[in-house]
Amino acid sequence: MADAKKMLLKILRYDPEHDSAPHFVPYGVPWDDQTSFLDGLQYLKDNVCPDLSFRSSCRMAICGSCGVMINGVPKLACKTFLRHYPDGANVEPLANFPVERDLVVDLTHFLEYIQALKPYVIGNSRQPKDGPNMQTPEEMSRYHQFALCINCGLCYAACPQFGLNPAFYGPGAITLGHRYNLDSRDHGQADRMRNINSENGVWGCTLVGYCSEVCPKHVDPAAALQQCKVAGALDFASSVLHCKKNKEACHVD
Amino acid sequence: MHDDIKRSNEPIFWALFGAGGTFGAVCAPALILSLLILYPYLGEGAEPGVFYRFLDTFIGRLFLAVFVALTAWSGLHRLVHTLHDLKVHWSKLPLVCYGAALLITVLALYGAFACP
């Protein structure tokens, strides 16, 4: 690869122990038509700057670890190829998240929101002896698209509302919660709706739609959030009716 | 993590926003064309045509009032969010905008049914 042509990558470097602010550093990276940005970053770490920090694991767009901003657009480094950037590119950490070091961001918010939205089957008392919990193809098709999320966080880097208000649960976590709300095996919708219908829940979304544009798995989180709003509005209406009957059980403040 | 979960009152305004946006998109072009541009040409001789006679009925007047009110709710809700996007975080902004929408609703109902 030493004789290969080189591409200029400007990488936003930041070492909190030495740098007062993140700054771009230019690097020449040898490449051919099959070189991904992750390959380029790994080349730099192996040969040029061993202290370069970035996350990666599977190298095949499944683990969702290697999200970065490439020329200002959230991308998976393993799924994006240098051949599409003949003039070079700027590589930065994911937008809207605090930077820990170089291309590594602090995903704590995102992970806490996923936990809060309880993306797992709730309230299903079936036991293994009951056999498989069958679903019709139609029941599965309601949520299947939303189940393809790999938790890469690109939608958060694309979401201007999460950028304005980091307390917003954001597209990824709400989509995961909604995926289980749509699952016929699940009975936890009422539990999740408390968070989804809260002030930092789905109503922070203004349907910009950029989350769906950047999603590497075509999950279409913007569609999930719109469906969530309809479910949220119905939940609101039913809670108002329920509150009239039983004020103590109501969680409207 | 959000420990203090407070239910949002946004569904009310989102529902009005959605209804106003849909109603406006469907009806506004036809109403603008028929009431503001083609009015002189759509009469039956010296008499107003059937559409204008419909607008003068109770249902027609209610239709016009609801049209004005819902599009006002839709536009002012959009304004609240647009200003939020522009980092205008004035705490009384929703009160002012939704108050204005409520006022427009009252005026639209008054205008539709108080006019002879």
Which of A159, A208, A229, A241 has the most B C-beta neighbours within 10 Å, making it the best mutation to test the interface with B? A229
| Interval A74-89 mean pLDDT | 97
Distance from CA of B64 to the nearest CA of A (A): 26
How far CA A47 is from CA of A44, A92, B20, B76, in Å, comes to: 5, 20, 60, 57
For the purposes of burial, counting CB atoms within 10 Å of the CB of B2, is it exposed (0-12), middle (13-18) or buried (19 or more)? Answer: middle
For the purposes of burial, counting CB atoms within 10 Å of the CB of A63, is it exposed (0-12), middle (13-18) or buried (19 or more)? Answer: middle
**Whether B7 and A197 lie within 8 Å, measured CB to CB:** yes
Does position B68 have pLDDT exceeding 80, yes or no? yes
| Interval A104-124 mean pLDDT | 95
Distance from CA of A108 to the nearest CA of B (A): 10
| Interval A235-247 mean pLDDT | 77
Architecture of domain B11-114: Up-down Bundle (1.20)
Question: In B, which residues are within 8 Å of A203 by CB distance?
Answer: 8, 10-11, 14
- Confirm or reject contact between A197 and chain B (CB < 8 A): yes
Report the chain A residue with the minimal C-alpha distance to residue B16. Answer: A233
**Whether B11 and A167 lie within 8 Å, measured CB to CB:** no
| Interval B6-24 mean pLDDT | 93
Q: Tell me the C-alpha distance between A74 and A217, whole Å.
A: 13
**Whether B11 and A116 lie within 8 Å, measured CB to CB:** no
Q: What is the pLDDT of residues A153-188, one digit of tens each?
A: 999 999 999 999 999 999 999 999 999 999 999 999
A1 band by pLDDT with thresholds 50, 70 and 90: low
**Whether A198 and B2 lie within 8 Å, measured CB to CB:** yes
Whole-number average pLDDT of chain A: 93
Distance from CA of B84 to the nearest CA of A (A): 9
**Whether A198 and B85 lie within 8 Å, measured CB to CB:** no
Q: Domains in chain A, please, with CATH?
A: 6-105 (3.10.20.30), 108-249 (1.10.1060.10)
What percent of chain B lies above the pLDDT cut of 70? 89
ipTM given for this complex: 0.79
Distance from CA of A112 to the nearest CA of B (A): 6
Does position B113 have pLDDT exceeding 60, yes or no? yes
**Whether B85 and A164 lie within 8 Å, measured CB to CB:** yes
| Interval A195-213 mean pLDDT | 95
**Whether B8 and A203 lie within 8 Å, measured CB to CB:** yes
Provide the 3-class DSSP secondary structure of residue A96: coil
Q: Tell me the C-alpha distance between A46 and A35, whole Å.
A: 15
Phi, psi torsion values for A54, nearest 5 degrees: -155, 160
| Interval B79-98 mean pLDDT | 92
